Amino acid sequence: MAFFSFSIDNKNKFLNNYNIKPKQLYFSKNSLIWKNLSLNKNQNVIFLKRQKLEKVKFLGKSVLFFLPPNIGLGDAIEYAKAFKAIKNEKIFNFFGIAFTEKYSFIYKKFFKLEKIYSYVVSKQEIAQYDSLFHVTLEIDAFKDQKYLRSDIENEIMNYFNIKNKKNNSNEKYKKKQISKISIFPISSSPLRSMPIQVLSRLINHFKEKLSVEIFFDKRSEISNHIYERIDKNNISIVDSNNLEDLLNSINKIEYGVFMDSGPLHVAKFFKKRGVLIESSVSNNILLNNYNKITAINNNFSSPYCNSPCGLTNLFNFENNHGCYQTLKISKNDFIKKKLHNKSNMRGVKNNYIQFVEKPVGCLKSLDVQNILNYINRDLSL
């Protein structure tokens, strides 16, 4: 979604939800606001214009950070951790964070970050800051995040020369006996969601020994498809539709089985114990030496890629959808020749269910018995 500015003439019922006042100039990256303004352009919209992102010319004593649009829960947590480190280092007199959207309460409640602009920021509010910093424009590693996932927290800390301090959660801890196992099979991408066969085997195995709860999300097509295809007898289903309820639920888990998704990052924040089943993104990036969650490595290899390849989602290339392996494109050639500049995400969501039913190579290759044995050893079952 583009960065844009706008002003309205009269109150708009939809825009009232965002506390937008008439005859003031605002900036946003929110697609729903853009859509509403575009549809009503000839009615009460005074001004609507796409804005060009500009690199920061100098870093002053106050900075307004602009987040990219439509980030996931995991990314929101990682950005928040980095901004908290910036605050602790007192690099600026003050700074703000724009476009935190539905994650604003997380930044305020859990990270104590005060100057938050959820969906829009006004011209008057921007005027408080010496410098405007679009994170995906300024930090090179963020420009290809869909194809070469990097560690968001570390990239920002490196940019500002902040040393990564020792994580207290990595001190030795005594493993406690558990009575319940919590499984988080759903990601926003089929590349990082748990295959139905793997989930079914986990459920059947552990419900004989422990209480089992599975986290689903009714808003997700991937989630609903997987939900309909598992045996739900003698297990608990948790709907993670409400973000605050989801965080509260994760804070109460005893042991989690995670894919690469938002709940993994929340569990790290709450210092929870569990296991990560690695898929397309490296556990070294996702866990960053956090030792209460250990990783089951993915060693898939094909003529086109080696897992973990770094992709976060399917992509569209020459009107076909998939990953390096399914499209038979060499990852090295793809990145080296900058073919990703010719690819896009158009139509990708229409192919999600196809790849849930027929998982890509790195997911299809998962050894379920190895996963069961690993968790049994970790839990001393």
Q: Residue length, the chain?
A: 381
Starting at the earlier edge strand, list the strands of the sheet with 274-277.
236-239, 211-216, 180-184, 256-258, 274-277, 293-296
pLDDT of 176: 83
Rounded to 5°, the CA angle 318-319-323 comes to 80
CA distance 233 to 223: 18
Residue 289 has a pLDDT of 86
Helices (H), the chain: 13-16, 31-39, 73-89, 104-109, 123-126, 135-138, 152-159, 196-206, 221-227, 243-251, 262-269, 283-287, 324-327, 331-336, 352-357, 361-364, 368-379
The series of mean pLDDT values per 10 residues for the chain, 381 residues long, is 88 84 94 89 84 92 96 96 96 97 97 97 97 95 86 95 69 80 97 98 96 96 97 94 94 98 97 97 94 96 95 89 93 75 76 96 97 96 83
pTM, full prediction = 0.93
pLDDT at residue 341 in the model: 64
Amino acid found at 46: I
User: What SS3 class is residue 110?
Assistant: coil
pLDDT at 346: 75
CA separation for the pair 296, 279 (Å, rounded) = 9
